[in-house]
Structure 1
Amino acid sequence: MQTTQGKAHTIHTLIQKTREIFLSIGFDEIENPVFIQEEDVYKQYGKEAPVILDRVFYLGGLPRPDIGMSDDDITKIKKIAPYISTDKFKKILRNYREGVIEGDNMLEEMIKNLKINATQAMEILDLFPAFKNIEPVCSRTTLRSHMTAAWFLTLEAEMEKQAELPLKFFSIGLRFRREQKQDATHLRAHYGASCMLVDKNLKIEDGMSVAEKILNEMGFANIIFTKKKATSNYYVQDKEYEIFSGGIEIADCGMYSRTALKNYNIPDDVDVFNIGFGLERILMVRNNIGDVRKVLYPQFYEDVHLSAQEIAKSIGLLSVPETAEGINIAGKIYETAKIHADEKSPCKFLCFEGNLMNRRIKISVFEDEENKNL
């Protein structure tokens, strides 16, 4: 088989290009946490947190059931595996409950320690409804909906190490939003690129200059910063801006608020500028695509344009005749339809008349709908 160059997904091509831009202007790459504790959302958003949390995914998990064995259970187990050690099985159940055995290792542990096969192990587990009736329990851990949620954690860790200023970090990764539905403008998971500039006496204008340079490198010209009417709580009041190019919003930036920074033990004389943008939106603007789903999931949402010949090639018969009589009749149907293909409807043409399976039959091709070709 001949090997050819594979095709990269457009989102990952853009991610690589974005990485190169950030690295070329002196930003260090950070892998930010994906799991964010609920309390961190409150520390960052304050009174706005409840409405923000409405848009996040909480993580849940299945609790480990405490399973006992009755005499009836033991009898049923012995019918499946007569020589099994119930004491050893009880120990396995206890270890599972205490987390010593992981769920995906349960069958392996049973097979190894109880000297039974995989079928017997599954049949035994099926005897206990507790394994099948476990309800997920929600935790207070969320999936990050904004990269900012993770930046505060990273910044706190760096400042604890007394990192030398200025700090210039960037991170690219998925953000998760609990949208009510996925449509042309909403996804529940999308890629975001974000950077953080940290220094003393840092001004919003300094950050804007960096933001403009980044976006120019990405191919956007005529950058315009527009102050947001409603400032997010983690930004300084009136220091959050939407960034436009060609009349289309492509990014958001601002200075982190003192209140939010103080919650993460950041000194008062340290200023933090942040910019973030959705990479799918960048591709939508670049490629004039109106549906964000087509950008990320073209295999599901990209329009398919097929010629009549391509459509015809994709159509096949569910079944074909196998007897000599059937093959002969099929040929007559084909020839009749071919001869009269351009006849105007309504029309009807006899293809075959004769005996088949001890019955007298007639077969015709027809088109009842008016003003069509056969």
Structure 2
Amino acid sequence: MKFNPEQVKLETREDFDKAWSQCAKYLTPVDEGKDYSIKMERGKPHPVYETMNRLREAYLNMGFEEMVNPIIIDDVDIFRQFNYEALAVLDRVYYLGGLPRPNVGISDERFAQIEGIIKKPLSAEDKETIRAILHKYKKGEIEGDDLVADLAAGLNVQDSKVAVVIDHVFPEFKKLEPESSHKTLRSHMTSGWFITLGALVNRRRTPLKLFSVDLVFRREQEENADRLRAYHSASCVIMDPDVNVEHGKAVAAGLLKQFGFSQFKFKPDEKRSKYYTPDTQIEVYGYHPALKGSNTKYKDGWVEIATFGIYAATALAQYDIPYPVMNLGLGVERLAMILYQAQDMRDLVYPQFKEDWEMSDEELAHMISMERVPLTKEGHDLAMAIIATAERNGNAPSPCAFEAWSGSLNGRKLRVSIVEKEENKKLCGAAYLNEVYVYRGDVLGIPLNNPKFREVQEKGVRVGIRYIDAIANAAARNAEEGIYETAVKMSRAPGDVNIVIDPVGLRYIQGKKRRVDFRGPVFTTIRAEAIE
């Protein structure tokens, strides 16, 4: 298993023992004299966010400054930017709505209902408190998520009782229907760029080079393999008196070369959005060698990856922007699909919802661990000593016994040995050094350097646990708990050698009808005895 070389330093051995006992399943202990530390395994990034980070670095490498554009756009701005195309654009946006604040009247009958729920009479001051708080709520001076708490504090009763009051006494709250505003969720990063550039035009020198990688939202009729309702746009602008289409080509090439694209084609975009100057809206096609011959729709190696253009002067004038502006944008999810050779955007972005889910051998390997491990530093030392003794003497002829460790464990002085009393055998059985591998969804305990398992050893994922490793850790944990003999004969299942597969991994293995094979003669006995 691969671990991040970064280590968390611990001040004392007591800290080490505590971390080891609490996190042994997830951390690798390191004990070098007084230098106690733990290694933490590196996490796994999501393909979309990994691609986003790479895009951010690519833009920064090209001298662009990162910005956060407005995500909530008034529909007035859509009309200013898109002119007579605005209605078509607005058909694709999400309008933001909210619940209106009800005008709640309070009669004597309602006051009586409230008294019945809170189990105490309301004074004239209490009644006025209720009226005042509800009036402030109606005016927006009190937020909806504070209403219950404010009423409870004003009446000196529990929040739960006020929640019942609102539910039973004021049906107006239940009958509320959301009302739309004129605010929309950004459907094009362009909508935010006009507002941002309008704010900066008199504050910043040209050329102004900005980028943003962020969410946009489209009210699609349905989501499919190539289209989502919420996705990320990696967009940039250059505002400068001399900017032109050639700058767009240079930015596109400079950006995409950082992702392995080697050749580019540019052709006019037939959509011809009105916020672009006529004949400046260009589609960017890139050639990626990794796509050539791939099992994707881009098997010829060419893919449409970005669009750029020069904003129309009429649209820029709506924001008092006197300079030409080049805008380039690409979909992060589309680029991630190319880089990860995914067939369906939904499966790439939301793998947790994929019906026919797949788990890589590496992922499955991370779901295999030792079930019982020692909880103390001395227990860990004992396990390591057992392993070293078995490695040195495992093939010694029996009857025999080899002392592995002696010392104090949880206040008891112990001597621990590996023993085999029967004659004409070996200290350990033939499978004691079998190592756990995952190969094509099978979980196997295999003897190393056996030609029968050469393909598994060369192409499979090594878990990093041998039978003797797991058995030694179980023996050390047993010794900590006062159990002084640990014996394993034939292994038939992971649990026989103190190995456990996470239930998620087991469900995957069973669902895919793959194998778990831990058979083998282990015949290893570890015995502890008290010493004076």
TM range (shorter): 0.7 to 0.9
Note closer, same or farther for the CA distance 1:314–1:124 as it changes in structure 2 (3 Å cut). farther
8 Å contact from structure 2 (residues 94, 219) kept in 1: yes
Q: Displacement, 1:118?
A: 2.0
Matched residue type, 1:245: G
Where does the alignment leave 5 or more consecutive residues of structure 2 unmatched? 1-22, 28-39, 288-301, 360-440, 444-505, 512-532
Q: Which of residues 306, 315, 318 in structure 2 aligns to 1:260? A: 315
Alignment partner of 1:115 is 2:115: no
Q: Distance in 2 between matches of 1:104 and 1:60?
A: 17
Which residue is 2:263 aligned to?
Answer: 222
Match of 1:9 in 2: 46
SS, match of residue 150 in structure 2: helix
How far 1:311 moved relative to its partner?
5.0
- Displacement after TM superposition at 1:230 (Å): 3.1
Matches within 5 A, 1:229-268: 229-246=270-287, 247-267=302-322
1:18 to 25, 38, 55: 55
**190, 198, 207: which is aligned to 1:148?**
190
Q: Deviations over 1:5-45 (max 9, x none)?
A: 21111111111111111111111000011011111111111
**Corresponding letter in the other structure for 1:104:** D
Q: Using the alignment, how far apart are the partners of 2:271 and 2:137 within structure 1?
A: 51
Query: Within 2, Cα distance between the matches of 1:313 and 1:286?
Result: 28
Larger RCO of the pair (alpha carbons < 8 Å, separation 6+)? 1
Matches within 5 A, 1:137-176: 137-161=179-203, 163-176=204-217
Partner of 2:130: 89
Which letter maps to 2:177? E
On the 8 A contact 1:294/1:302 being kept in 2, the answer is no
Pairwise CA distance, 1:138: 0.3
Alignment map for 1:309-320 (pairs within 5 Å): 310-311=506-507
Q: CA–CA distance in 2 between the matches of 1:312 and 1:221?
A: 39
CA distance in structure 2 between the partners assigned to 1:106 and 1:6 by the alignment: 41
**Paired residue for 2:254, among 213, 229, 245?**
213
- Stretch moving more, 294-303 or 30-39: 294-303
Structure 2 counterpart of 1:78: 115
Q: Percent identity?
A: 38
Counterparts of 2:160 and 2:206, CA distance in 1: 62
Unaligned runs of 5+ in 1: 316-374
1:313 Cα deviation after fit? 6.9
CA drift of 1:253 comes to: 0.4
Q: Per-residue deviation at 1:160?
A: 3.1
Per-residue CA deviations over 1:166-191 (Å, capped at 9, x if unaligned) read 00000010010000011211211001
Structure 2 residue 79 is the aligned partner of structure 1 residue 38: no
What secondary structure, in the 3-state scheme, does the structure 2 residue paired with 1:289 have?
A: coil
Q: Deviations over 1:256-315 (max 9, x none)?
A: 111111111111xx1111100001100111222111111211111274248699459769
What corresponds to 2:174 in structure 1?
132
Give the corresponding residue for 1:358.
none
Q: Which residue of 2 aligns with 1:273?
A: 326
Q: Which residue pairs with 2:105 in the alignment?
A: 68
Deviations 1:315-365 (A, max 9, x none): 9xxxxxxxxxxxxxxxxxxxxxxxxxxxxxxxxxxxxxxxxxxxxxxxxxx
CA contact (8 A) 1:193 1:278 kept: yes
Tell me how far apart the structure 2 counterparts of residues 31 and 305 of structure 1 sit (CA, whole Å): 36
Change (3 A) 1:116 1:10: same
Shift of 1:249: 0.7
Say which is worse superposed, 172-181 or 306-315, in terms of deviation: 306-315
Looking at structure 2, the residues matched to 72 and 292 of structure 1 have their Cα atoms a distance apart, in angstroms, of: 57
Shift of 1:206: 2.0
Measure how far apart 1:229 and its partner are. 2.2
Q: Distance between the aligned counterparts of 1:300 and 1:17, measured in 2?
A: 25
1:189-204 aligned at under 5 Å gives the runs 189-204=230-245
**1:171 partner SS:** strand
For residue 300 of structure 1, the aligned residue among 333, 345, 353 is 353
Partner of 1:286: 339
Deviation string, structure 1 residues 40-80 (Cα, Å, up to 9, x no partner): 11111111111111100000011111101112111111112
- Shift, 1:218, TM fit: 2.2
Aligned position for 1:55: 92
TM-score when normalising by structure 1? 0.80
The SS at the match of 2:238 is: strand
1:148-170 Cα shifts (integer Å, max 9, x gaps): 01000011001132x11100000
- Cα contact 1:235–1:256 (8 A) shared by 2: yes
CA distances 1:218-255 after superposition (whole Å, capped 9, x unpaired)? 22121111111231000011110111113311111001
Aligned residues: 312
Deviations 1:101-128 (A, max 9, x none): 1111111111211111122211211110
CA contact (8 A) 1:254 1:274 kept: yes
CA distance in 2: counterparts of 1:226 and 1:265, whole angstroms: 30
Secondary structure of 1:88's partner? helix
Distance 1:311 1:158 in 2: 56
One-letter identity of the residue aligned with 1:180:
Q
| Greater shift in the superposed pair: 113-122 or 185-194 | 113-122
- CA RMSD between the two structures: 1.8
CA contact (8 A) 2:351 2:357 kept: no
